[in-house]
Amino acid sequence: MKFYEAKIKILSPTIIPERRFERGYKGQLSYIPSTTLRGAILSSLYTKGYLSLDQIKAIGESYELLVSNAYLIDNEFKSYPSHPFMYKCKIPHGTDDKGNKIFESKIFISEDEVANSLKSGIDPIFKFECSKGHVAIEYPHPKPVRKANRSEEEFKEVSIKVQSMISVGISKHRASSQAGMLYEYDAMIEGQEFWCYIGVLRDEICKYIKSGLEIRIGRGISRGFGRSVIEKIEEISLDKIIEELKSSNIAVEGKNIIFYSLSPLLKIDDYENYKSYPDILDLKFLMNICGLNEEAGILEIKRVYGKERNLHCGWDIYENTKRPIFYDIASEGSIAIGSISGKNIPLSLALLSLIGYPIKIFNKYVVTGINMLTPIQINSFLWGKNNE
pLDDT band at 20 (very low <50, low <70, confident <90, very high): low
Q: Is the pLDDT of residue 175 over 60?
A: no
pLDDT for 64-82, tens place per residue? 999 999 999 999 999 999 9
- Separation of CA 347 from chain center: 21
pLDDT of residue 387: 40
The helix/strand/coil state of 206 is: helix
Q: Mean pLDDT over all residues of the chain?
A: 89
pLDDT for 185-232, tens place per residue? 788 999 999 999 999 999 889 999 999 999 999 888 888 888 999 999
Spatial separation of the C-alpha atoms in residues 91 and 94, rounded to whole Å: 9
Neighbouring residues of 273: CB distance < 8 A, sequence distance ≥ 6:
none
Residue 100: is it exposed, middle or buried by C-beta count within 10 angstroms (0-12/13-18/19+)?
Answer: exposed
pLDDT of residue 181: 56
pLDDT of residue 182: 57
Is the distance from CB of 259 to CB of 375 less than 8 angstroms?
yes
Q: Is the pLDDT of residue 90 over 90?
A: yes
Q: Is the pLDDT of residue 22 over 60?
A: no
- Cis peptide upstream of residue 358 (ω within 30 degrees of 0): no
pLDDT for 285-333, tens place per residue? 999 999 999 999 999 999 999 999 999 887 777 777 778 888 999 999 9
Domains of the chain as residue ranges with CATH:
2-77+161-235 (3.30.70), 87-138 (no CATH), 238-383 (3.30.70)
- Cis peptide upstream of residue 142 (ω within 30 degrees of 0): yes
Return phi, psi of residue 110, to 5°: -85, -10
Spatial separation of the C-alpha atoms in residues 312 and 326, rounded to whole Å: 7
Q: Is the pLDDT of residue 143 over 50?
A: yes
Is the distance from CB of 339 to CB of 349 less than 8 angstroms?
no
Q: Is the pLDDT of residue 56 over 70?
A: yes
The helix/strand/coil state of 122 is: coil
Q: Is the pLDDT of residue 239 over 80?
A: yes
Is the distance from CB of 296 to CB of 342 less than 8 angstroms?
yes
pLDDT of residue 252: 84
Bridge partners for 233 per DSSP: 6
Tell me the residue type at 108.
F
Spatial separation of the C-alpha atoms in residues 11 and 187, rounded to whole Å: 12
Q: Is the pLDDT of residue 153 over 70?
A: yes
pLDDT of residue 386: 45
Bridge partners for 81 per DSSP: 144
Range name among 125-139, 214-228, 231-245, 267-281 with the lowest pLDDT average = 267-281
Tell me the residue type at 110.
S
Q: Is the pLDDT of residue 162 over 70?
A: yes
